[in-house]
């Protein structure tokens, strides 16, 4: 009896010890999970913060104010009332600088002084004349973009304490620039050119608008080819196809294609669309078709999952009222599954927007300055533009790269936010 009593008394104590260990293990698991999430969020904020710190400066550009005389003898040498296409607008800001620094006499010093202004300033002056020909023959106060290295000096991106031979800005240019700063003729303004122009060899003139337009055409072509084909394929496999060996093979291949590296689709596009069909290189049409092949498995899988989520009694009720199988799918099942379909489609398109490798294989890595107007025009895309700028060794392109990454992240977050919004807005509970 004593042994039985001792055993009975030990059982509650052993049970309490096991429960205590179980609760302790659960608490540790929660702590580990929270710590993992905190570490992941810390790395995410560190990544985004480092990119933002480098990219924010690209949203501002250093400009120098000069008193420009629009000499009619240069703009309209034939005196026919129309600006000459060969007019040398660069001498306008060169003469304005020489008036501010009359002691500059040597040819090399004059070239160094004029090089403080971006070469794109002459196009800005030409556009001013085109917009308002009345300024010909007048003196105008104009803000002109500074050259990239001078812009880096204003933003603190160049070590001025280094010897002159180890930096791209000369001591004489620093003296002239300091004089302009003391006179209040140097300011940082919002860089509208970054969002309105195409790529350029000069960092201060480079923009992402051509890449944005190219990405837009790319996504439109991708959605046009992938969405209807993927939805029809999913509807057939889920609602109409018999369950046999062939459909199983098709389903396995679709699942396998979803895991194929994206560069394989680029090789396919290079061989088929460019090599066999002879479509134009570096065109959003070809890029969109390649991305459509890449996103098809993702959209098909998402669409099938959305169709499976529709309750069977919806189908049974429609069939009981005399609807045909096609009417059941088109009028009842597909509309109820559309939130999930749209969510999967947007996620697939967001993946296509951030891909680079397939576009490199079909030639969209080309240097594109002009803004594309159709899907057949040569173009680039945002991730490819980031790749091109990141491979450029010049310091000003570093901030351009970071700014382009920020823009790309904004588009990706917006597309994922749209997917969440559509699911919440159109989701139905049964």
* Mean pLDDT in residue range 424-430: 68
**pLDDT more than 70, % of the chain:** 96
Q: Which two tokens stand for residue 21?
A: 């260990």
Q: How far, in Å, CA of 331 to CA of 338, rounded?
A: 11
pLDDT at 414: 87
Is the pLDDT at 37 greater than 70? The verdict is: yes
Confidence of residue 31 (pLDDT cuts 50, 70, 90): very high
Cα 393 from Cα 360, distance rounded (Å): 20
What are the tens digits of pLDDT across the range 313-331?
A: 888 888 888 888 889 988 8
Query: Of 298, 279, 299, which is closest to residue 289 (Cα–Cα)?
Result: 279
Question: Per-residue pLDDT for 63 more than 90?
Answer: yes
What confidence tens digit (pLDDT) does each residue in 176-190 have? 999 999 999 999 999
Which parts of 56-117 are beta strand (E)?
60-69
Q: How far apart are CA 102 and CA 98, in angstroms?
A: 5
Q: What is the pLDDT of residue 158?
A: 81
Does pTM top 0.75 for this prediction? yes
DSSP state of 117: B
Q: How far apart are CA 207 and CA 57, in angstroms?
A: 14
Lowest-confidence segment of 2-16, 105-119, 135-149 by average pLDDT: 2-16
Whether residue 408 contacts residue 311, with contact meaning beta carbons closer than 8 Å, is answered with: no
Q: Could you tell me which residue, 69 or 22, shows the higher pLDDT?
A: 69
6 pLDDT more than 60: no
141 bridge partner residues? 67
How distant is the alpha carbon of residue 405 from its chain centre?
Answer: 6
The tokens describing 136, both together, are: 């010909």
Assigned token pair, 196: 């309105």
Domain extent listing, the chain = 60-190, 209-426
Give me 254's structure tokens: 């679709």
Q: Tell me, which fold does domain 209-426 have in CATH?
A: MetI-like fold (1.10.3720)
Q: What does the alpha-carbon distance between residue 256 and residue 262 come to, in Å, rounded to a whole number?
A: 13
Q: Is 60 exposed, middle or buried (0-12, 13-18, 19+ CB in 10 A)?
A: middle
Q: How many CB atoms lie within 10 A of CB 194?
A: 21
The pLDDT of residue 397 is above 90? no
C-alpha distance across the termini of the chain, in Å = 60
When pLDDT is averaged across residues 284-290 and rounded to a whole number, the result is 92
The closest of 71, 132, 72 to 96, measured between CA atoms, is 71
Burial code (b: 16+ CB inside 10 Å, e: under 16) for 268-284 equals bbbeebbeeeebbebbb
Query: Who has greater pLDDT, 417 or 304?
Result: 304
Choose the weakest-confidence range: 16-25, 206-215, 278-287.
16-25
Q: What is the mean pLDDT of the chain?
A: 87
Average pLDDT over residues 30-53: 90
- Per-residue pLDDT tens over the stretch 191-242: 999 999 888 888 888 899 999 999 999 999 999 999 999 999 999 999 888 8
Q: Does residue 3 surpass a pLDDT of 70? A: no
Residue 9, pLDDT score: 52
At 222 the pLDDT is 94
Q: If you write DSSP's letter for every residue of 290-328 in order, what string do you get?
A: HHHHHHHHHHHHHHHHHHHTS-HHHHHHHHHTT--HHHH
**What is the pLDDT averaged over residues 296-301?**
92
- Please answer whether residues 174 and 333 qualify as being in contact, where contact means their C-beta atoms are separated by less than 8 angstroms: no
The pLDDT assigned to 231 comes to 93
DSSP 19: H
């Amino acid at each position: 009896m004593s042994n039985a009593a001792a055993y009975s008394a030990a059982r509650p104590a052993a049970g309490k010890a096991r429960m205590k260990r179980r609760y302790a293990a659960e608490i540790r698991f929660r702590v580990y999970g929270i710590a993992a999430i905190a570490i992941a969020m810390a790395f995410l904020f560190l990544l985004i913060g480092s990119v933002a710190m480098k990219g924010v400066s690209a949203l501002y550009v250093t400009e120098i104010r000069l008193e420009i005389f629009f000499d009619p003898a240069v703009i309209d040498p034939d005196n026919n009332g129309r600006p000459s296409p060969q007019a040398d607008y660069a001498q306008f800001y060169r003469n304005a600088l020489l008036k501010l620094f009359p002691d500059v006499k040597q040819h090399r010093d004059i070239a160094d002084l004029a090089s403080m202004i971006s070469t794109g300033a002459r196009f800005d002056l030409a556009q001013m004349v085109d917009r308002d020909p009345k300024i010909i023959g007048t003196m105008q106060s104009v803000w002109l973009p500074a050259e990239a290295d001078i812009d880096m000096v204003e933003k603190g991106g160049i070590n001025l304490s280094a010897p002159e031979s180890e930096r791209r800005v000369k001591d004489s240019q620093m003296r002239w620039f300091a004089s302009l700063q003391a006179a209040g003729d140097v300011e940082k303004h919002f860089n509208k050119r970054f969002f309105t122009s195409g790529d350029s060899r000069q960092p201060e003139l480079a923009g992402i608008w051509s890449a944005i337009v190219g990405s837009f055409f790319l996504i439109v072509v991708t959605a046009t080819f992938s969405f209807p084909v993927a939805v029809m394929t999913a509807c057939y496999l889920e609602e109409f196809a018999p369950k046999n060996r062939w459909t199983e093979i098709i389903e396995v291949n679709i699942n396998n294609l979803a895991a194929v590296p994206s560069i394989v689709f680029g090789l396919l596009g290079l061989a088929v669309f460019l090599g066999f069909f002879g479509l134009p290189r570096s065109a959003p049409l070809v890029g969109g078709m390649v991305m459509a092949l890449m996103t098809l498995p993702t959209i098909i899988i998402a669409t099938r999952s959305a169709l499976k989520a529709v309750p069977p009694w919806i189908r049974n009720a429609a069939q009981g009222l005399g609807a045909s199988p096609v009417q059941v799918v088109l009028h009842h099942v597909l509309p109820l599954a559309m939130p999930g379909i749209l969510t999967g489609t947007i996620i697939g398109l967001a993946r296509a927007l951030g891909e680079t490798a397939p576009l490199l294989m079909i030639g969209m890595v080309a240097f594109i300055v002009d803004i594309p107007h159709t899907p057949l025009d040569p173009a680039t895309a945002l991730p490819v533009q980031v790749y091109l700028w990141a491979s450029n060794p010049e310091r000003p392109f570093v901030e351009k790269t970071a700014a382009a990454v920020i823009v790309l992240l904004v588009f990706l977050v917006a597309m994922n936010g749209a997917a969440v919004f559509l699911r919440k807005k159109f989701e139905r509970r049964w």
